[in-house]
Every structure is written in C-alpha cells, then in structure tokens.
Amino acid sequence: MDRDEALRLLASVSFGRVIFTRDALPAVRPVNHLVDDGEIVIVRTRLTSRLTSTVRADENVVVAYEADEIDPVEQLGWSVVVTGIARPVTDPERVARYEAMLQPWVDGVMDSLVAIEPTLVTGVRLVVKKAG
C-alpha cells in the first residue's frame, strides 16, 4: 500500500504501539494517537515515562509506531508501521489543541505529547487467499 493509504488507515484508529530504545533494548508501549498534518501525535502518560525521558534527553530520537486493525477470526485487516524522529510537542497552541483532541486512556493523565515525523511508512493488508 502507498504512504497516503497507510496514513489514512493509521488515522482511522485511535491507538497503537510506540517502539523505542530502553537501556539499549527495544521497548514497546501502547498509547493513543492522532494523525495531524502528516505527523503522528501520541499521548504520553506515566506509563510511557521511559519514552518521556528518552525523547527529552535527545532531540533526534528514532522510534517506530505500529497500529493495526486485524480480525483474529477471519485473519483479515491491515497493519501500518511508521519509523521516524520523535520530538516533544512544546508549542503552547499545539499542546492546547491536541489536549482538546486527545484524551489519555491509560490512567487518565496526560503529562506530555510527542510528535513523530514519519520518514518510513509501510503497510500491509491481510486478505483472503484465493482458492486454487
């Protein structure tokens, strides 16, 4: 699938998984998100405090973000993976706008926001196999 379709599918769901480095090893955390002007904006709560520390410590942190919609019975659906630079959202107008648009679903606390500028965007569709 192409980049536009992948980002459209990503925008159609409200949560995914952010993959980042923790103590030199991959770490994964579920978070909710929105797609805004080509960037993926995620809510960081206390659950992702390691991500918070990582992004604040270095302005050029590479992360991956994955979201999907897969029917486990029919084994149909899609998966999108975005890889890019994560940066904290600090502009007060953007923060206020995103706080109004995103509600944290993990422990109800929104301590900060991260925007991912997608460099690589890939997606796959799981489809019915043709008989024969």
pTM exceeding the 0.85 threshold for the entire prediction: no
* SS3 of 34-53: EEECCEEEEEECHHHHHHHH
Residue 38, burial from CB neighbour count under 10 angstroms (0-12, 13-18, 19+):
exposed
Question: What are the extents of the domains in the chain?
Answer: 3-125
Range with the largest mean pLDDT of 11-15, 51-55, 66-70, 125-129: 66-70
Tokens of 105: 């679903």
Q: Which of 51, 109, 113 is nearest to 88 (CA)?
A: 113
Architecture of domain 3-125: Roll (2.30)
pLDDT (tens digit per residue) in 78-112 = 999 999 998 888 889 988 888 888 776 655 666 67
